[in-house]
Structure 1
Amino acid sequence: MCGCSSKTQATAERTTRENAVEFHVGDMTCGHCEKAIRSALAERLPGAAVDVDLSRHVVRVDGDAAVVKEAITAAGYTPEMHA
């Protein structure tokens, strides 16, 4: 988690994809956090579609749930499978 205390409003990109997984990332609080998570996911899952809803703390990614969780965790965040 970053030390940034600023909050930004993100535009939620909502799409319906069969192979997408969603995680709630409660400690993703700002644009810096979003960028760090997107970067970690791009490194582990090149070319995967990534949608972020910063206001809801939700990350949606096309890819294997275990790989997504591992990438977000490695970036320093705490992902929980979104119900």
Structure 2
Amino acid sequence: MGDVADATQRELDQLAAYDTAPGQAALALALAQSVDLTPAPTARANAARELRTVLAELRKLAPAGEEGDALDDLAQRREARRARGA
């Protein structure tokens, strides 16, 4: 696979896209391979645009992750500091 297909595959894995929307996940990977392999600039641009659309939809369908944001990180550090008695 090429760079775009490899990156797309990693994102699909992170999103658990094959579990939530297997058809759209397969479509995203096929579009990514088209972006990598198509020599025609117009066709490549069209495939890239469609890939962005499909990935955006898959992101909306992805289950909520356990990862926190910066505020969650600060809260965890504060709790750890309090637990140490500092």
TM-score normalised over the length of structure 2? 0.30
Greater helix fraction, Structure 1 or Structure 2: 2
Based on CA coordinates, which of the two structures has the bigger radius of gyration? Answer: 2
Greater strand fraction, Structure 1 or Structure 2: 1
- State the structure with bigger RCO (CA 8 A, min sep 6), 1 or 2: 1
